[in-house]
């Protein structure tokens, strides 16, 4: 019987993965349609590309050259098929392939997002655990206050304060750019600050619930060490909502870091999106929306997978 018993749930893990992948593909398709529709709904692209001084002939030429005179479904299919093969069109503004523009900026955004998430998790999880273990004490309330302040502080302001103190007065860290790794520290901290409160509260709430559960009583009755009780038995059960939210937070950090990229002059994807929206560079906008949506879908999928690893009951359902 040991043979069968070795991995009773390996099959259902694959089923679970497959179901999630199908779902992710459907969401991708929806995103493609929406991303395409959005740019077409924001006005006649040929007119805005021709500029305020463009004549009707210019518009007609642009329309023909860019294939905008074709029926929308054809345009969509053309774009979607190209996008699937990695060709996201050419930027009108930079006169260069969009994929190249994004590939150049993506590493910066990823480094920033990962730095932010790492700082956020390394702060929020230990504080959340301590807060839960000391529930109701002064320490717990102090930590709660920190979370509240973090939530209330606007990130552009925190960014500027950090720049003034650590960049200008103390001169510990560079105030802008990403030439060296330490250029990511301050923007990372600012990004982390917005994610910490939610992660901290979730960790705390999850840990309080887990620590009060019957299986923790069993673990204590079996004389397990405090470290094992807290970090192995309780944290694993408290971690699931934290994982889900951390994935969303990372997506937010990757897509919504426009303010921070501006404050610290980081030329990441957020900055590129901001620029393209202003200049009506629609292939870039489309591509960024698509990319961010894919990242979100990928992250959510990853979070689901991690949760399925954490909680065997999910694999069955």
Question: What is the C-alpha separation between 93 and 104, in angstroms, rounded?
Answer: 16
Between 213 and 280, whose beta carbon lies closer to other proteins?
Answer: 213
Between 14 and 103, whose beta carbon lies closer to other proteins?
Answer: 14
Under rule CB under 8 A, residue 139 binds other proteins: no
Question: What is the C-alpha separation between 139 and 78, in angstroms, rounded?
Answer: 59
Compute how many other C-beta atoms are within 10 angstroms of the C-beta atom of residue 58. 15
Question: What is the C-alpha separation between 311 and 237, in angstroms, rounded?
Answer: 8
Q: In 3D, which of 126, 303, 118, 129 has the Cα closest to residue 204?
A: 129
Between 281 and 304, whose beta carbon lies closer to other proteins?
Answer: 304
**Alpha-helix runs per DSSP H in 264-311:** 269-279, 282-310
Between 5 and 52, whose beta carbon lies closer to other proteins?
Answer: 5
Window of 5-13, 14-22, 87-95, 253-261 that interacts with other proteins by CB under 8 A: 5-13
CB 244, min distance to other proteins, A: 16
CB 120, min distance to other proteins, A: 24
CB 142, min distance to other proteins, A: 19
Binding to other proteins, residues 8-47 (CB under 8 A): 8-9
CB 215, min distance to other proteins, A: 4
Under rule CB under 8 A, residue 157 binds other proteins: no
Question: What is the C-alpha separation between 126 and 137, in angstroms, rounded?
Answer: 16
End-to-end CA distance of the chain: 24
CB 311, min distance to other proteins, A: 6
Between 64 and 236, whose beta carbon lies closer to other proteins?
Answer: 236
Total residues contacting other proteins by CB under 8 A comes to 29
Window of 7-15, 38-46, 99-107, 258-266 that interacts with other proteins by CB under 8 A: 7-15
Residues with Cβ within 8 Å of 177's Cβ and at least 6 positions away in sequence, in order, are 183, 264, 265, 266
What values do phi and psi take at 209, rounded to 5? -65, -45
Between 9 and 157, whose beta carbon lies closer to other proteins?
Answer: 9
Question: What is the C-alpha separation between 264 and 178, in angstroms, rounded?
Answer: 9
Residues with Cβ within 8 Å of 15's Cβ and at least 6 positions away in sequence, in order, are none
Question: What is the C-alpha separation between 248 and 31, in angstroms, rounded?
Answer: 17
Do 251 and 296 contact (CB within 8 A), yes or no?
yes
Binding to other proteins, residues 198-257 (CB under 8 A): 213-215, 217-225, 228, 233, 236-237
Between 139 and 224, whose beta carbon lies closer to other proteins?
Answer: 224
Which residues contact other proteins by CB under 8 A? 1-2, 4-9, 213-215, 217-225, 228, 233, 236-237, 310-313, 316
């Amino acid at each position: 019987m040991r043979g069968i018993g070795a991995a009773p749930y390996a099959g259902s893990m694959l089923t679970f993965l497959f179901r999630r992948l199908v779902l992710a593909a459907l969401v991708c398709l929806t995103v493609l349609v929406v991303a395409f529709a959005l740019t077409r709904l924001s006005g006649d692209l040929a007119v805005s590309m021709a500029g305020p001084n463009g004549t009707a002939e210019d518009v007609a030429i642009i329309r023909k050259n860019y294939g905008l005179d074709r029926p929308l479904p054809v345009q969509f299919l053309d774009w979607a098929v190209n996008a699937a093969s990695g060709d996201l069109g050419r930027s009108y503004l930079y006169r260069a392939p969009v994929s190249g523009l994004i590939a150049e900026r993506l590493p910066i955004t990823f480094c920033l997002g990962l730095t932010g998430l790492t700082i956020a998790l390394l702060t929020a999880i230990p504080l959340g655990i301590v807060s839960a273990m000391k529930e109701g004490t002064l320490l717990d309330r102090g930590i709660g206050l920190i979370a509240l302040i973090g939530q209330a502080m606007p990130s552009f302001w925190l960014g500027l304060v950090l720049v003034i103190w650590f960049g200008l007065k103390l001169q510990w860290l560079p105030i802008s750019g990403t030439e060296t790794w330490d250029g990511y520290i301050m923007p990372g901290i600012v990004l982390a600050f917005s994610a910490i409160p939610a992660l901290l509260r979730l960790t705390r709430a999850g840990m309080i619930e887990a620590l009060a559960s019957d299986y923790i009583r069993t673990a204590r009755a079996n004389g397990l060490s405090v470290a094992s009780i807290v970090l192995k038995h309780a944290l694993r059960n408290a971690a699931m909502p934290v994982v889900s939210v951390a994935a969303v937070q990372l997506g937010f950090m990757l897509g919504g870091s426009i303010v921070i990229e501006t404050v610290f002059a980081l030329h990441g994807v957020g900055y590129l999106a901001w620029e393209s929206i202003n200049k009506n560079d629609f292939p870039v906008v489309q591509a960024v929306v698509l990319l961010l949506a894919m990242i979100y879908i990928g992250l959510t999928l990853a979070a689901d997978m991690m949760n399925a690893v954490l909680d065997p009951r999910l694999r069955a359902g």
